[in-house]
Amino acid sequence: MPSSSSSSLFSDLDVTVEPDAAIGVMTWYGIGGRADLLVRPQSVDDLAALVKRCRRSGTPLRILGGGANLLVADDGVDGLVVKLDAPAFRQIKYNRSGEINIMRAMAGADMPKTLMAAVRQGLGGLSQMAGIPGSIGGMIRMNAGGSYGCIGEVVRSVTCLTRSGELVTYPAEELRFEYRSTNIPDPVIVSATFELEPTDPVALRDRVKEIFAFKKSTQPLADSSAGCTFKNPIDPVSEERVPAGKLIDEAGLKGETIGGASISHQHANFIVTEPGARADDVLALLDLVRRRVYEHAGIELETEVVVWQREEDPE
């Protein structure tokens, strides 16, 4: 629980603080535990001061984005959970000198809303993100995407806060966007700029609708889930990535249920939850899937979903 020493981290900052905050319900799973402290800074300066003080005091700090790729353990998390949902962290801006082709989005900006804002401006390049929920910061961190492409393809620069609370901006040539990962070393992403392409907004909107319709027809988008549960692994024989969903299906796991969590009948790489489900149900199902797929195909699956647990280093 919060102490006087923890409150000294932010007592002079422009932040809102919620002790014993229910953060599990803020995720797309809608389950899981609470945070000892949920802090919402109102500016980048307040966030920078918070990062610096947490490092000096050894206080765990986690950034809660859109909650679309996250499972919070039932016993919650210690330290500070920071939510970047103040107006300063949700801004989207465009360059106004010459032809508009650069968009700057803060880390807390919602990805679907950012995509549609770009579409209205007639700026193409982000249509591959249709149907993928989350915040810009989270998308950049994991190089989110799918069969249509990844967000890293159009990133021009990323601004972060170092562990000492200093702002640093990385141009695209210094960044490495790989499958569900980046080489960004810093704990907090503040914003990103994107190099987009002026195009016909009507044709662009139709393309986004087409991609979204396809995903809706093949994925359980209406259910409570965290999206794809496992990364697509590399087959040791072919040395190429194979769909994790295909391996899970071939292991006979579609529809497998533990407690209130089950493997989707529509797409085997989605674990969906029902009302009353617990994070422990999902964790048990994760373990079962890894074990059964390894037994069936000899391939070890790695989770794409991030799991927060108490007394662990934040991911």
pLDDT tens digits, 150-171: 999 999 999 999 999 999 999 9
Look at residue 197 in the predicted model and tell me its pLDDT. Answer: 93
pLDDT tier, 7 (very low <50, low <70, confident <90, very high otherwise):
confident
What DSSP state is assigned to residue 24? G
Q: Are 183 and 160 in contact (CB under 8 A)?
A: no
Please report, rounded to a whole number, the percentage of residues in the chain having pLDDT higher than 70.
Answer: 96
0.85 exceeded by pTM: yes
The number of beta carbons lying within 10 Å of the beta carbon of residue 145 is 18
- Domains annotated on the chain, with CATH: 4-87 (3.30.43.10), 90-204 (3.30.465.10), 220-308 (3.90.78.10)
Assess whether pLDDT exceeds 70 at residue 214: yes
Active site residues: 180, 228, 304
Average pLDDT, the chain: 94
3-state secondary structure of 176: coil
Instruction: Give the length of the chain.
Output: 315
Look at residue 286 in the predicted model and tell me its pLDDT. Answer: 98
Look at residue 5 in the predicted model and tell me its pLDDT. Answer: 56
* Closest-CA residue to 270 (of 258, 288, 282): 282
Give per-residue pLDDT as tens, 91-144.
999 986 666 789 999 999 999 999 999 999 999 999 999 999 999 999 999 999
Angle, in degrees to the nearest 10, between helices 201-218 and 111-120: 150
Give per-residue pLDDT as tens, 190-206.
999 999 999 999 999 99
Assess whether pLDDT exceeds 70 at residue 314: no
Look at residue 2 in the predicted model and tell me its pLDDT. Answer: 52
Distance, in Å, from the CA atom of 276 to the CA atom of 274, rounded to the nearest integer, reads 6
